[in-house]
Structure 1
């Protein structure tokens, strides 16, 4: 879509500093940040290497959870109940870390 309109925006020192901080944190230009605010009312940070690491950990935990489900089907849930609780807590911790960072 063609961008053919230009606007002039006046900001206080505090507002300009805040805009700069948002731009650095999200790794986007000032124009992209302002457009995002206009379109959705918020700006989301780009995914970081740390987030990718946490997501990979979640994938690994999901694989472990599938293995536990197979064991539960074979040997009964009581045989793997404790490990399932530990796994659920680990997954919850990883999800909380992702939410806190975002």
Structure 2
């Protein structure tokens, strides 16, 4: 927070529970974690191993990209993400630098 103030960047603290487990591409509802309360979740996709998330349709998505989209969805709930979704931003390009 202090560093963002030094560079005049607006800092917003965002609650990010369940963003790694929910599927952005399947449009899962993302609940807010409440301590002491049991939350039932019905997420459609699954994280198969570190770095890989599989949607209900079988599409492979980078797990960090999926979580980042879900954090954006939580912070801007009334925003249309159609442009991001339609551009195929699901798996970052891997480059091998020699």
| TM-score when normalising by structure 2 | 0.27
Between Structure 1 and Structure 2, which shows a larger proportion of strand residues? Answer: 2
Between Structure 1 and Structure 2, which shows a larger proportion of helix residues? Answer: 1
| TM-score when normalising by structure 1 | 0.26
Bigger CA radius of gyration: 1
